Structure 1
């Protein structure tokens, strides 16, 4: 299986401190991107083996392992100007061969994800799966893409399955918390949002002898998306692909989520089987924000049809 993943990456130490990419201290961002990249290659890379005993030679040799779930992975990190930390990854032993860099000219870096969309479109026909992945996410499920393939084989390419995003508390006894609140994306706050679907609210299937349930995502955002080749091709043919005239919350959420909402019914595993498909958000910043304010202003910004007006992508 061939997979192309695109990662928008930005860091500006002179920023507002509102996001991790706008802090004065680069070290947490370096460590986050390092964890992101290492998790991908530790989970899907070809360097997986076990020690096998060769009785005839009276020695132990390494043999390839996990052949059935192996993924041929290519990673493209999208940046703008010199606002990045890629030249500092060597200090944490992340070889530059693990990724390729694409640079884009943008007025507002929050729309850097549109460069990722362009990279994905340019590579149509060469991969089985196409993905978008924020640079502070960690993926450690070796059967992640097999699960996506299983889902679409059973329920069709007309629907998309998003992963449940979680954080782990950093103090005391570790606790996993799914942090994308189950808010209603078709509430008055999002009256014009294209994710206004009312049919097939729940899908079910059997997996390993157990029933699994998938709910129409009331909050489709996961900071990432993954489409098979047929779905990616279909999306790029829609008039709203890379259309700058709409926005969902902010540029960050728009690039990660809006295109899916406009094109497909989006599902997530029901919370009773949330870990069927999940992804980790590094740290526990979202947990802390929810604890500080259970209304969390992240959802107070309305869906807006106003254009973001980015410069040309080049």
Structure 2
């Protein structure tokens, strides 16, 4: 399995008059560099070159493990205006490719879409992650494969984002469960709120049309990427879902597919770590489990 991951990345002052506080314009540089470094390193760690050491007396031989799993990952970081932290990452050469573009920083996600389309046909999976999201699950794409084999023609499965902290009431907090009355306008079949039932490792599995489809990322197999690329609105730079950053991660696929996430009863089936905490230290009311 070959994977392409695109990451929009910017670190600079906000535009005058822009009041929304995004990590790219208001975040701590050290924390943001650490998050981006781990986002890239984790992809290479889990989906890049791997070996298993065998020894007999003084002889050391490394063999390839995990046959049939992911075989390679290419990562493209898209930046603009020289405002980035790539020189501070201290990562080995070849861990990622830098692609600068001449574009409004808020629109970098749409440049990532163009990269995915330009390389269509070269990979099995085409991914987009915001620059502070980290995949820790080595079986992440195997789970997507399982879902897509049955539902991938019309549906896309997204992970639940979570944050972690040692000094908090919650060591792990899932952050994307906003209670919206309806699916966002423009989504495919917004009145279709069905749940997909199944099982995984002897555990009941429920995947639902979450009222908040945003995950800051998406991962499409080649069939899904072609379906999206062929839509008349592909690369139209529509920013109608909350704002440009959220739209780049969510709106295009929202118009094309039914978006599912794991239900709260099995939230960790597919998840991704939001490395720059924005929610975990806020005051929250805890409800009993149901």
Same fold (TM over 0.5): yes
Secondary structure, aligned partner of 1:65:
coil
CA drift of 1:42 comes to: 1.3
Aligned to 1:77: 77
Residue 107 of structure 2 is aligned to residue 111 of structure 1: yes
Partner Cα distance (2:199, 2:14) in 1: 51
CA drift of 1:173 comes to: 6.9
Task: Give the TM-score taking structure 1 as reference length.
Answer: 0.83
Aligned to 2:154: 158
Partner Cα distance (2:192, 2:169) in 1: 41
Note if contact 1:214-1:267 (Cα within 8 Å) is conserved in structure 2: yes
String of CA shifts for 1:88-121, please: whole Å, max 9, x gaps: 222xxx1231111112222x31111000000000
Task: Give the TM-score taking structure 2 as reference length.
Answer: 0.89
2:54 to 52, 55, 59: 52
Residue 230 of structure 2 is aligned to residue 228 of structure 1: no
1:18 to 21, 25, 29: 21
Distance 1:19 1:68, change over 3 A: same
Partner Cα distance (2:181, 2:100) in 1: 33
Q: What is the aligned residue count?
A: 283
CA drift of 1:24 comes to: 7.7
Distance 1:193 1:156, change over 3 A: closer
Partner Cα distance (2:9, 2:154) in 1: 30
Residue 196 of structure 2 is aligned to residue 203 of structure 1: yes
Structure 2: segments with no counterpart, 5+ residues: none
Partner Cα distance (2:270, 2:61) in 1: 34
Note if contact 2:2-2:70 (Cα within 8 Å) is conserved in structure 1: no
Residue 158 of structure 2 is aligned to residue 149 of structure 1: no
CA drift of 1:72 comes to: 0.8
Aligned to 2:273: 280
CA drift of 1:203 comes to: 0.6
Instruction: Map 1:128-147 to 2 at 5 A.
Output: 128-147=124-143
CA drift of 1:67 comes to: 2.7
Structure 1: segments with no counterpart, 5+ residues: 295-314
CA drift of 1:185 comes to: 6.3
